[in-house]
Structures are given as structure tokens and as C-alpha cells.
Amino acid sequence: MNRAKRTAIFERLRELDPSPDTELHYDSPFELLIAVILSAQATDVSVNLATDKLYAVANTPAALLDLGVEGLTPYIRHIGLYNNKAKNIIETCRILLGEHGGDVPRDREALERLPGVGRKTANVVLNTAFGEPTIAVDTHIFRVANRTGLAPGKTVLEVEKKLTRLTPEEFRKDAHHWLILHGRYVCKARKPLCGECPIIEWCEYRRKEIT
């Protein structure tokens, strides 16, 4: 796919959604961090159900640390892998208080040292909380990047690096949100809604289907 097609795709996505954002509920970088940790192998809807109640009680590292694993678990019990996530969240709060003054670090290496935080989670926090032009590649974005031809690759890291390099700079900050929403609601895994796709004219998948 050439630059003109990539530009056309992102221009169309921007036209439809000029100010995209995550569907996770949050009011601070810390709330976002915890929500993203919880979202691994879980839906945003299930995470929001948990955090809407949790944050009314504890929405700072100190308050969550006071809850402890036993106090946190009832709020997140319906989320997959909740036992490990509870332990990681409490330890993350301990590290934030002990090493970062209770603040979420604006640094990839520091973020990835937090329990339960990998490269994708760090990218989400850097992008959504701090406005960095990072692109967090999840299953939706991996699928869209390969299917459309935007940035084909065999691994998540390969797709991330290609998207970061090939996405025109003016779109890079919002690309993550546009692509994840497109994959979630239009370019679905089993039955992509090609008839409703706003970028169909530039999509390599549709071109291959026709030929």
C-alpha cells in the first residue's frame, strides 16, 4: 500500500471521528493504567463495570494499596485472570508510591517495569494519558493492519513498528484509536462488515476478494 492510500484511509477515519478516545472510563493517568491492566483478555465493557464501582471507593495508588488484594478482588472478580491482576495492581501501586511519588511515569521503560504492564499497555498509557504518538497493537489492530494492507506483519511488534513508521505524522497520535474501533465494530474477525466499511475503496482485502 502506498502513502496516498494510507493518507486517504486516515483522512476518512478522521472525518468520521475527529477526536477518538478509548472506550475505557478514566479521569486520570492512574485510573487509565489500572483499567488497561484489567483489560487484558477482557472487554472494555466488563472493565468499566468494575472500575465504575472501584474508583468510587479507591482511585489512587494509596487508596488501592490500602484495599489490598482481598479488598480489590470483589470488584474485579468477573474479569478474566482477576487473581493475577489483583496481585499485579497492588504491587504496581506499591512501586508507584515507592519509586514515582504516586505518579504514573511518562517513560516506557519505567512503565514496563510495573507488574502486569507490557509493551501494549505502556503504549496505550503513553498515547491516551500523555498524548504520545505511540500505537498499541492489539488483536483488532493486528487484524486490520494485515487485512487492509496498511502495515502487514507476522508479529505484533513488526506491525507496530511498520504502523509507526508508515503512518503519516499528522495521524499518528490518533491512529491507535481509529484502528481499534474500526476492527472492533466494522472489520470484525469472522465476518467483516465490508458493505458498511468507510475505507473499502482502499482496502487490499476487498480487492483480493473481488479478483
Q: What is the mean pLDDT of residues 101-111?
A: 97
pLDDT digit string (tens) for 129-188?
999 999 999 999 999 999 999 999 999 999 999 999 999 999 999 999 999 999 999 999
Q: What CATH topology corresponds to 29-129? A: Endonuclease III; domain 1 (1.10.340)
Q: What is the mean pLDDT of residues 98-102?
A: 97
pLDDT digit string (tens) for 159-171?
999 999 999 999 9
Of the listed 138, 161, 173, 208, which one is catalytic?
138
Residues contacting residue 39 through CB under 8 Å, at least 6 positions apart: 24, 47
pLDDT surpassing 60 at residue 122? yes
The span from the CA of 141 to the CA of 135, in Å, is: 9
- Report pLDDT for 117: 97
The span from the CA of 73 to the CA of 37, in Å, is: 14
Tell me whether residue 120 is one of the annotated catalytic residues.
Answer: yes
Domain boundaries, the chain: 3-19+136-210, 29-129
The span from the CA of 196 to the CA of 72, in Å, is: 41
Which 3 state secondary structure label does DSSP give 113?
Answer: coil
3-19+136-210 — its CATH code? 1.10.1670.10
The span from the CA of 72 to the CA of 50, in Å, is: 10
Domains 3-19+136-210 and 29-129 share a fold: no
Tell me whether residue 103 is one of the annotated catalytic residues.
Answer: no
Q: Is the pTM of this model over 0.85?
A: yes
Of the listed 21, 44, 66, 120, which one is catalytic?
120
